[in-house]
Structure 1
Amino acid sequence: MFAAVVFTLAAASMASAHFALDYPTWRADTLENTSYSQWEYPCGGVPYGVGNRTDWAIGGGSLSLDLHHPWSYLYVNLGLGENVTNFNVSLTPSLTNVTGNGTFCIPQLLIPVSISDGQSATIQVVTSGASGAAMYNCADITFRYDAQLLSGDDCTNSTGVSAAIVDQSPTTSQSASTPTPTGSAAGAVNTGGVALLGALSFAGASMMGLVL
Structure 2
Amino acid sequence: MAILTFLTVLTAALPLVNAHFGLEYPSWRANTLSDENESYSQWTYPCAGVPSNATGNNVTDWPLDGGSLVLDMHHPWTYLFVNLGVQINPGSTVSNFNYSLSGQTFWNVTGNGTLCIEKLDLPSGFKPKDGDRASIQVVTTDSGSALYNCADITFRANATKLSGDKCKSSDNVKAYQVQSGAASSSSGNGGSSTTPSQPSNTGGVAATGVSTPVLTSVVGLAVLFAYSMAL
> TM-score, structure 2 length as denominator?
0.68
The answer for the alignment partner of 1:111 in structure 2 is 122
- Cα deviations by residue, 1:94-137 (Å, 9 ceiling, x for unpaired): 02001000000000001111111110000000001222x21000
- In structure 2, the partner of 1:124 is 137
Residues 1:48 and 2:52 are matched in the alignment: yes
Q: Please tell me whether the aligned partners of residues 76 and 124 of structure 1 are also in contact (alpha carbons under 8 angstroms).
A: yes
Q: CA deviation at 1:84?
A: 1.8
Aligned partners of 1:134, 1:127: CA distance in 2, in Å? Answer: 6
Match for 1:21: what amino acid?
L
Matches within 5 A, 1:1-212: 14=18, 17-32=19-34, 33-51=37-55, 52-81=58-87, 82-93=92-103, 94-112=105-123, 113-131=126-144, 133-168=145-180, 176-177=218-219, 178-179=221-222, 188-190=228-230
For the 8 Å contact 2:118–2:162, the answer to whether it is kept is yes
Q: Do the aligned partners of residues 73 and 116 (structure 1) sit closer, same or farther apart at CA in structure 2, a change above 3 Å counting?
A: same
Q: For the residues of structure 2 that align with 1:56 and 1:120, how far apart are their CA atoms?
A: 10
For structure 2, which runs of at least 5 residues remain unmatched after alignment? 1-16, 182-211
Question: Residue in 1 aligned with 2:11?
Answer: none
Rate the CA distance shift 1:92–1:136 in 2: closer, same or farther, 3 A.
same
What's the secondary structure of 1:72's corresponding residue? Answer: strand
Q: Structure 1: any 5+ residue segments left out of the alignment?
A: 1-12, 192-212
Please tell me the residue identity of whatever aligns with 1:85. S
Once superposed, which parts of structure 1, at least 4 consecutive aligned residues long, lie more than 6 Å away?
171-174
Instruction: Give the alignment's Cα RMSD to 1 decimal.
Output: 2.5
SS at match of 1:61: coil
Q: Distance in 1 between matches of 2:42 and 2:74?
A: 13
Q: Is the 8 A contact 1:40 1:135 kept in 2?
A: yes
Counterpart CA distance in 2 for 1:48 and 1:27 is 7
Aligned length: 172
TM-superposition CA deviations, 1:160-185 (whole Å, max 9, x none): 1011111137x979963133999xxx
CA offset digits 1:15-67 (Å, max 9, x no partner): xx100000000000000122110000000111223132110111000000000
Q: Is the 8 A contact 2:96 2:230 kept in 1?
A: no
- Identical aligned residues as a percent: 53
Cα contact 1:56–1:141 (8 A) shared by 2: yes
Query: 2: distance between equivalents of 1:139 and 1:120?
Result: 11
Contact 1:102 1:158 in 2 (8 A): yes
Greater RCO (Cα-Cα under 8 Å, separation 6 or more):
1
Partner of residue 210, structure 1: none
Amino acid at match of 2:21: F
CA distance in 2, matches of 1:57, 1:80: 15
